[in-house]
Structure formats: C-alpha cells, structure tokens
Chain A
Amino acid sequence: MLNDILPILGTMLMYSAPLIFGALGGVVSERSGVINIGIEGMMTFGAFMGAAVGYYSGNPWIGFLAGGVAGALLSALHAIASISFNADQTISGIALNLIGPGLSLFLCRVMFSDQTVTYPVQNKLPKVFGSIDITVVIALVLTAFIWFILYKTKWGLRIRAVGEHPAAADTLGVNVYAIRYVSVILSGLLSGFGGAAMTLAVVSQFSPAAISGQGFMALAAVIFGKWTPFGAYGACLLFAFAQALTVNLGGVNFVPSEILNMLPYVLTIVILVLFVGKSVAPKADGVPYEKGMR
C-alpha cells in the first residue's frame, strides 16, 4: 500500500512547487489590491531566463535567481501601468501573458541557434531527502514566510490595509503606491522563481510547453485558497495531487488516459461546489488608487 502511495506523493510534490511559487506571487499582489493575471507570462519568462542563465553560468542557483529577476522585470511593467497610470489591471496583465512568452521564444531563437528550446542545463537544482526537489522545500518555507509577513508584521498589515481600503491606509500615513509597487514586484519575483523551478528542477530545459497553463492554475489556486498563503498552498497541492494521480494511474487500461487527464480539473470544480463556496476578493482588488478619490 505504502509503495503505491509514495510515488504519487513524490510526483505531487514535484508538480506542486512551480504552482506554489506562482500562487504565492498572486496572493501577495492581490492582497495589496492589484490583480495579477500576468502570472503565466511572468512564469514563462522566468522559466526561460532560469534555463538560459543556468545553462550559460553552469550554476542552477544563479539561473534560479535570474528567473526571479526576469519575472520581477515584467511585473515592474505591470506595476507602472496599474499603479502609476491607473491602467486597467486585467488588460495589462493579459498583455504580459503575450509579451512574456513572446519575449522568451524570441530571445531563445536568438540565443540558441534559432531553436525554441534551450540546451539542457548541466546541473539541475539539488534534491534533498533522497528524491525531493529543493524547490519543494523552498516553496513551503516561503509560504510560511509570506504568511508570517502578511499576518504578523506591520508590513503585512499595511499590504492588507492597502488592498482592502487604500484611502483609509493613506490617511494613516501609509504610502499606498510604494506598498503596491513592492508587492507587485515581489509577486513577479515569486512567479519568476516558479518558472525557473520548472525548468531547473522538474525538467532541465526551456521549451514552449514548459509553462503551459501553470500560471493560470496558480491564479485559480489563489482564488480557491481565498487569497491566503496556506490556502493557496493547499489548493496547489490538490491540483498537483490530481495530476500525480493521472500520471501514476496512466498504466490502468479500463479508463482512457484523456478521461483520466480531465480528472484534476473536474475535481477542482466539484470541490469548489461542495466545500468552498463563494470566494470574496480583497475589497480594493483591481481598483486603481487615486489620491483624494472618494
């Protein structure tokens, strides 16, 4: 029995890490009041830069950091648009979902002799406890860390205040714009890590299919987890578990594999209907803040 369950759990943890990074990014950004639909684009760019820098430097950790920085760069665009220019956050985020993959594939062709895949990295990120990716551990630690920041420090209180009622926070001397800038850029950093976790730990190179929908799944996990770090973490584990089930049950003959593949997604909807119910976003989520606005 245990021998049946362990591989499933292993696969679950492996798939969960990139999702968790992305979802944490979403939580941080949306708690500060900025919708981040661009997670997918930031993850893709992070995945590419992670793999590319990881290949050229030979050091996966430098690659991992570069992936985060790449995500942060893209999210800085989102921050400028949605915080300084009061832009429509949905549109700006979707634009990044086009720019991120576009830029990744463009640069990939330029840097890797006109191919849309990078050369595999020589060294992947290390594994701990036998066969668990270190990114799995980092993801868990980061979840706890962000939970601590959000709920136990004054910085977190400010982030949440800015996301719920920016005008009130402003009256108390909190710099709404600064807090949102930091949150959105942090969100890009985390999403970029998520992408790099995919191309430096789960697989060892970037390809157009490396990030295919993980950013959107992370987005769903944010809402599913009701905008809390551990809620999102749990949602990601659930998605990853369902995915692991389909991978490990792949050998079963009586159910066509395509039907099995639908399972995670159907399961998510069913669980939402049965247990979770209405999800309420932070009050000022998606609303640009203008000083003096009522």
Chain B
Amino acid sequence: MEKAAKILKKPITSTLIAVVCGFLIAGVIIALMGYSPMEALGLLIKGVFSRPKYIFKVIEKSTPLILTGVSVAFAFRTGLFNIGAEGQYIVGSVAATVVGIKLSFPPIIQIPVVIFAGILAGAIFGVIVGFLKARFGIHEVITGIMLNWVALYLCNFVVNSHEFNKPSNSKTYSINQSGYTTILYNWKSSKAGIEFLRNNKWLSDILLKTDVNVGFLVAILVAVLVWFMLNKTTIGFGVRAVGLNPFAAEFAGIGVKRHITTTMAISGSICGLAAALTITGTSPHGLYLLTMFENVGFNGLFVALIAGSSPISCIFSGLFFGGLIYGGNSIQSGLGVPSEIINITIGTILFFVALTKVVPEIANRLAKRRENNA
C-alpha cells in the first residue's frame, strides 16, 4: 500500500495516467465513428517507428517544439505566461532569413551569425514584453498576443518585399548555402556521396529523405543548460524565487522587475534560436507567407505544460508531441480518420494533466487510511 502511494505521488505517474486517459478518449471517439481504435493506434506507432526515415522526421519536427517548450517552461518559473512564444519564434525566423540571404561568409562565420540574428530578434521581442510588464505593469498575455500579430505581418512583409521575394512564389529565397546546418548537405549530392548512398539503403533513406540537422543536439544541450541555470546558478535561484513569491523575493533583495525582463529576454532568445535552427537546418531554408499562425510557439505551451515546466522533461514531451503530429498523418491516410483526432488527443491529455493534481491527493488519502488502520 505504501509503495502504491509512493508511486502515485511521483509526477511522472500522473503524467502517464493523463496520457493513457487521452488515448482512451480518442479511442472512444474513433470507435464511435465506426473505425477500429486499435488499428488507428497501430498505424500511429507504425507511422513513427516503422522506418528510420520516420524516426528522423519526428526528431526534425520535434526540435523546434522542444526549444519553444523550454522557453515557455523557463518563463513559467518566473510566473510569466509567455504566450508570445509564437511571435518570438516568427521574428527569429525572419531575422535569420534576412541575415542569411544578405550575408555570405564561409560556414564557420555564416552559421553563428545567422543563428545569432535569430536569437537576438527573439530576445528583443521577449524584452519588449518583459520591460512593459516590469515598468508599466502591462500584462504579458496582452503584449504577447499583440506582438504575435506584429511578427506575423512582419514575416509577410518580408516575404512580399522585392528584396527577398522569390519571383512568382509566396516565399522568400533560401538563405545562402554556407548557412545550412543540414548534416552532410554537400556530400549528399556529391558524386562520391550518391555512389555511397546507393549501396546503403538505410542511410540513404535518412539522409536523402529528411533534413537531418544539428538542431536536435543543440535543443538537448539548451534544455540541459537551462536546467543547470535554473537549479545551480544565482540567476536561476532569483528566477525561481520571483516565481514562487515575488513579495518575499523583493524583500530578500532580489530585483523582481529586473528578473522579469531578464527572464523574458532569455525565454525570447530560446524561441529565436528554435527558429534560426529551423531556417538553417530544414528546407525551404527561408520564409513563406503565413495565412495563419503555424503554432510552433503555441505548441511550446503544450510541451511545457505536459512536461510540468521542467526543461529536461521538455525533451521527452517535445518528442512525444512531434511524434503524435507526424504519426497522426498516417492515421488519416491509412484509415480515413481525420488527423484532427491528434489535436483532440493532445488536448485531452493536457486536460487530464490539469486534473491529475488529484492523483497525489489520492495517494495522500491512501497513506492516511493506512495510518488510521495501524
């Protein structure tokens, strides 16, 4: 009994319960529609794991989600709700594209410069939100939402401008190739590479059909760094203190306002990084016209919330999220169930994540009952 209570109290248990509940409800909906839920689950799993190409596609899709998730999670720790992650991601991609097209250095300079441009743009949008909150007390949700739209139109402005528009296309030119972070980009299309890949099916499946890039490794590194910063440094201590109780923090001499601005700068720069890595790492290596939000930043909210705002857990919830989105397509193509079932599933999981505060409570009750009986 005691053991059961202990297991129930672990955060991972309630998350897993939420995931199972989400799948169950999605299964019921699929069954009500007259399809077989098991078949759908099988297709989903196949769509993610059955070929190396799929696995790498999932990793590619997950990379920006992990980073925007880490960004949102970090802001959460200061008690800030960074709904502006979407806009910070968009301006990051705008800056990376503009710089990547305009400048042409050798890769060793070009790549850092392009990525730095993305980070800087994201940070600036983050700082605006943080500064307005710290200086004027304007709610971060309002400024975040407004700046999302500003970023969207900024992106479309660049896409439509003479300077960057690829003629008769609703997208920009690609950035200069020296800025690509796709792994073995040149070798893939070289003679030796083609020859080698012809004899190696497994590798060619991955290298030629996906944009394998360094982004995923960077994302893991950033998640670990942010975890370290939060838990092992003075800044992180301040951030957590402000998040837990701003009044106590202020009283203890921790500058609440300064921390709000700093947090948003860091949070925004992580979103900018996510965008820059997408631009340098995956085709089309540029911007395209946005008729609606792409939700990379908004999905970061889900990733962070499912991860319980822990940067390390964001790696797993990001992969999970990316897998569901990518694998969901195979449910639609294979079974005819609308792929929106995936959104419903994720939403339901999140809903149960909100509910699962109850689980530790049940554990407490179990423990108490035991005490009473003893």
A residues adjacent to B (C-beta < 8 A): 77, 81-82, 85-92, 94-99, 101-103, 105-106, 109-110, 114, 208-209, 212-213, 216-217, 219-220, 223-224, 256, 258-259, 261-262, 264-266, 268-269, 272-273, 276-279
17 pairs, CB–CB < 8 Å, chain A vs chain B: A92-B350, A92-B351, A96-B351, A98-B347, A99-B351, A101-B340, A102-B340, A109-B338, A110-B33, A213-B148, A216-B83, A261-B149, A268-B146, A269-B146, A273-B132, A273-B136, A277-B136
Q: Which of A94, A219, A273, A278 contacts B145 (CB 8 A)?
A: A219
Which of B45-53, B101-109, B153-161, B270-278 touches A?
Answer: B153-161
Known contacts A272-B138, A278-B137, A95 near B357 by CB under 8 Å: no
Instruction: Flag if B343 contacts A223 (CB, 8 Å).
Output: no
Interface residues of B in 43-90 (CB under 8 A from A): 81, 83
Look across to chain B and name the residue whose beta carbon is closest to the beta carbon of A92.
B354
Instruction: Flag if A220 contacts B145 (CB, 8 Å).
Output: yes
Instruction: Flag if B153 contacts A259 (CB, 8 Å).
Output: yes
Instruction: Flag if B146 contacts A94 (CB, 8 Å).
Output: no
- Interface size counted on chain B using CB atoms at 8 A: 46
Given contacts A105-B338, A110-B33, A266-B146, 12 further A-B pairs with CB under 8 A are: A86-B358, A95-B347, A103-B344, A105-B343, A212-B293, A220-B146, A258-B154, A258-B160, A265-B149, A272-B132, A272-B143, A273-B138
Q: Which chain B positions have C-beta within 8 A of A256?
A: 157, 160-161
Instruction: Flag if B156 contacts A278 (CB, 8 Å).
Output: no
How distant is the Cα of A103 from the Cα of B33 in the complex, in angstroms? Answer: 13
Q: Which chain B positions have C-beta within 8 A of A110?
A: 33, 338
Instruction: Flag if A91 contacts B136 (CB, 8 Å).
Output: no
Interface residues of B in 315-342 (CB under 8 A from A): 338, 340-342
Instruction: Flag if A269 contacts B338 (CB, 8 Å).
Output: no
How distant is the Cα of A261 from the Cα of B346 in the complex, in angstroms? Answer: 32
Instruction: Flag if A224 contacts B142 (CB, 8 Å).
Output: yes
Main secondary structure of the interface of A (DSSP, over half): helix
- Whether B355 is near chain A, meaning CB under 8 Å from some CB there, is yes
Smallest beta-carbon distance B35→chain A, Å: 11
How distant is the Cα of A163 from the Cα of B314 in the complex, in angstroms? Answer: 33
Instruction: Flag if A98 contacts B292 (CB, 8 Å).
Output: no
Q: Which of B142, B146, B350 contacts A98 (CB 8 A)?
A: B350
Smallest beta-carbon distance B136→chain A, Å: 6
Instruction: Flag if B354 contacts A91 (CB, 8 Å).
Output: yes
How distant is the Cα of A217 from the Cα of B146 in the complex, in angstroms? Answer: 8
Instruction: Flag if A262 contacts B142 (CB, 8 Å).
Output: no
Known contacts A95-B351, A258-B157, A262-B150, A223 near B141 by CB under 8 Å: yes
How distant is the Cα of A272 from the Cα of B341 in the complex, in angstroms? Answer: 39
Instruction: Flag if A99 contacts B344 (CB, 8 Å).
Output: yes
Q: Which chain B positions have C-beta within 8 A of A103?
A: 340, 344
- Whether B139 is near chain A, meaning CB under 8 Å from some CB there, is yes
Q: Contact string, B344-374, partner A, CB cutoff 8 A, digits 1/0?
A: 1011101101110110000000000000000
Instruction: Flag if B343 contacts A101 (CB, 8 Å).
Output: yes
Q: Which chain A positions have C-beta within 8 A of B346?
A: 98
Q: Which of A90, A91, A99 contacts B343 (CB 8 A)?
A: A99
Interface residues of B in 114-166 (CB under 8 A from A): 132, 136-139, 141-143, 145-150, 153-154, 156-157, 160-161
Smallest beta-carbon distance B208→chain A, Å: 32
How distant is the Cα of A209 from the Cα of B148 in the complex, in angstroms? Answer: 16
Known contacts A98-B346, A223-B139, A278-B136, A81 near B146 by CB under 8 Å: no
Known contacts A99-B344, A266-B146, A279-B137, A88 near B354 by CB under 8 Å: yes
User: Considering the complex of A and B, which 3 residue pairs feature the smallest CB-CB distances, nearest first?
Assistant: A278-B137, A102-B343, A98-B347
Instruction: Flag if B157 contacts A99 (CB, 8 Å).
Output: no
Q: Which chain A positions have C-beta within 8 A of B347?
A: 95-99, 102
How distant is the Cα of A277 from the Cα of B137 in the complex, in angstroms? Answer: 6
Instruction: Flag if A269 contacts B340 (CB, 8 Å).
Output: no
Instruction: Flag if B142 contacts A91 (CB, 8 Å).
Output: no
How distant is the Cα of A273 from the Cα of B134 in the complex, in angstroms? Answer: 12
How distant is the Cα of A91 from the Cα of B349 in the complex, in angstroms? Answer: 11
Q: Which of A85, A96, A97, A216 contacts B355 (CB 8 A)?
A: A85
Q: Which chain A positions have C-beta within 8 A of B338?
A: 105-106, 109-110, 114
Q: Which chain A positions have C-beta within 8 A of B230?
A: none
Q: Which chain B positions have C-beta within 8 A of A277?
A: 136-138
How distant is the Cα of A209 from the Cα of B342 in the complex, in angstroms? Answer: 19
Q: Which chain A positions have C-beta within 8 A of B148?
A: 213
Q: Which chain A positions have C-beta within 8 A of B353?
A: 91, 95
Instruction: Flag if B354 contacts A77 (CB, 8 Å).
Output: no
Instruction: Flag if B146 contacts A209 (CB, 8 Å).
Output: no
Q: Which chain B positions have C-beta within 8 A of A219?
A: 141, 145
Look across to chain A and name the residue whose beta carbon is closest to the beta carbon of B350.
A95
Smallest beta-carbon distance A208→chain B, Å: 7
Q: Which chain A positions have C-beta within 8 A of B302?
A: 94, 98
Known contacts A98-B346, A102-B347, A266-B146, A85 near B153 by CB under 8 Å: no
Q: Which chain B positions have C-beta within 8 A of A266?
A: 146, 150
Smallest beta-carbon distance B129→chain A, Å: 10
How distant is the Cα of A32 from the Cα of B147 in the complex, in angstroms? Answer: 29
Q: Which of B348, B355, B358 contacts A99 (CB 8 A)?
A: B348
Look across to chain A and name the residue whose beta carbon is closest to the beta carbon of B81.
A90
- Whether B301 is near chain A, meaning CB under 8 Å from some CB there, is yes
Q: Which chain B positions have C-beta within 8 A of A109?
A: 338, 340
How distant is the Cα of A103 from the Cα of B348 in the complex, in angstroms? Answer: 11
Instruction: Flag if A81 contacts B351 (CB, 8 Å).
Output: yes
Look across to chain B and name the residue whose beta carbon is closest to the beta carbon of A261.
B153
Instruction: Flag if B354 contacts A265 (CB, 8 Å).
Output: no
Smallest beta-carbon distance B36→chain A, Å: 16
- Whether B234 is near chain A, meaning CB under 8 Å from some CB there, is no
- Whether B305 is near chain A, meaning CB under 8 Å from some CB there, is yes
- Whether B200 is near chain A, meaning CB under 8 Å from some CB there, is no
- Whether B199 is near chain A, meaning CB under 8 Å from some CB there, is no
Smallest beta-carbon distance B27→chain A, Å: 14
Q: Which chain A positions have C-beta within 8 A of B348?
A: 95, 99
